[in-house]
Structure 1
């Protein structure tokens, strides 16, 4: 299910999308999903370099993906690359992009990632991506503080990718601050904000977003509850004025029906 951002205002898109029944956009995953009882954990320290990969796999291209992994992962591991946590994208609520999942990778630091990119074989490996994926979006940034996040299979997760309005960049932060109590009262918790990441993509001309915001929810209708509150209604104008583009995804550890 997709909502065209050009035909509906950003603020009203949130309201419309959350009233629609959820639909799955899951496609072939890049690696096996964890056991139903497993609770993946993201533990990284300040100064490490974190990459968030959101793949849209080409059908019937598993051989191309495996060939890429056989070359890319061993080379990356020489510079400390570590696969951390994988989530499934259950619903692309507001997006023209429909990734099958989201994977966290970490490096010891940004210098380690730069060393990988400088390797002579890396350009040829990177050039293999279009054969394996319709798109492979990668968001990366230095970790700003120590993080220890457990992803509970019984919980629900949302990701908002926001491109802020350069004329009013503070408005989006005012919006997030304004709804924080409402999110908490609705069983939600802000668990991670990636600020000003770089973005890699071989099939997309989008500029890098300004923030990726992850929220954990006790129930699937958590954000719908937030939208009914006075805090949300008073803060929504800052959302409207504070961004130029937005994507909104629903995720889980093992996939929700």
Structure 2
């Protein structure tokens, strides 16, 4: 029997950014284990191509700092609570990845040695070189910064070749495709256009940081089975944000 050749991949080291809400499944709150397991299988399928992967997961399924601040909570405290929520999500994803036999490290910007590693850039790079999956938690460790900004920062520090932003839709649209049937999907869009038209790919700080370091952002649907692997092989539907 002739062996089937693995597809050629465009990127060798990438960062996958997903929202905390992506882990909820059909629940209104928290972690939905079957959904976390499905995403873990997607990550494994890409890891098997030899791609080095790091991840940033939001915390909105547990606590969102801005929402807490809007309800009268002091903003810095609310943001720290949101950072701790991302650690919980990272540990949940780590458990599912390791159940699939993948060596995984949760690395927190806020030191908590009994739970996970502190963020040390050179150590994290070494983990990636050893084909371990790194999940960066607790944002940047600072209030007033989103996990989008944390993802772009870590992707630059790790010398990633692209950020993959997994969402509920298959790319960037000029308006919400779930509300407007005539919404147009972009195949490619520039950083500046994202900022000028407020297209909602990531927050402005993250887009600007990606632009200043010429780091492409690929927006795709995390709900599409095999989508993450397919896009790395040049297939599927997605939007590329670049210069």
TM-score class normalised by the smaller sequence: under 0.3
Structure with more strand by fraction: 1
TM-score, with structure 2 as normaliser: 0.26
Structure with more helix by fraction: 2
TM-score, with structure 1 as normaliser: 0.25
Structure ranking higher on relative contact order (CA contacts 8 Å, 6+ apart): 1
